[in-house]
Amino acid sequence: MLEKLLPRRLDNSYRGNTLALWLFGLVVAMKSAQSLAILFGGHAIARDADGIPLDSYAPGAAQSVVAVFAQGSLWRLFFCFLCLLVLCRYRNAVPLMFTLFALNYLAAQLVLQVIPLNRIGTPPGPAVNLVLFVVMLIGLGLSLWGRRDALADVTDAA
């Protein structure tokens, strides 16, 4: 299993379940859409999707919050481009990328426990991210599990 998670060589020899590739594409598309939405409409997204009370902040403080959100989103967008490259050319790294996405989510939740966000109401953003996390875990499991035909190829080669 460690060989699937950390392959010695990056290539397109994916041996996981094909459904995991579709789930990976879904996660990458959703994370890319979230990033673009924040980059082009950060104030509304931070206020509505994440429940940050920007209207109660001084204009400079609200702008700083939006700028920090945008910087994080730009990093996530670059990571999504890397994931797209993995999906198209280096598919045996899909389990690793699922793991990095999941670890990023868990680390962010840990940070929010230590430094909580001041939110108003029950914003939809955290629920959407939790659903994406569950999809990541399912995709990770499927990508590590393997296909029957891939297992047969390995058995035939031995």
Q: Which sequence spans correspond to the domains of the chain? A: 16-157
Q: How many CB atoms lie within 10 A of CB 15?
A: 20
Q: What is the pTM of this model?
A: 0.85
99: left (phi over 0), alpha (psi -120 to 50) or beta: alpha
**What is the token pair recorded at 5?**
């998670």
% of the chain beyond a pLDDT of 70: 92
Residue 54: pLDDT over 70: yes
Give the count of alpha carbons within 13 A of 148, CB side only: 0
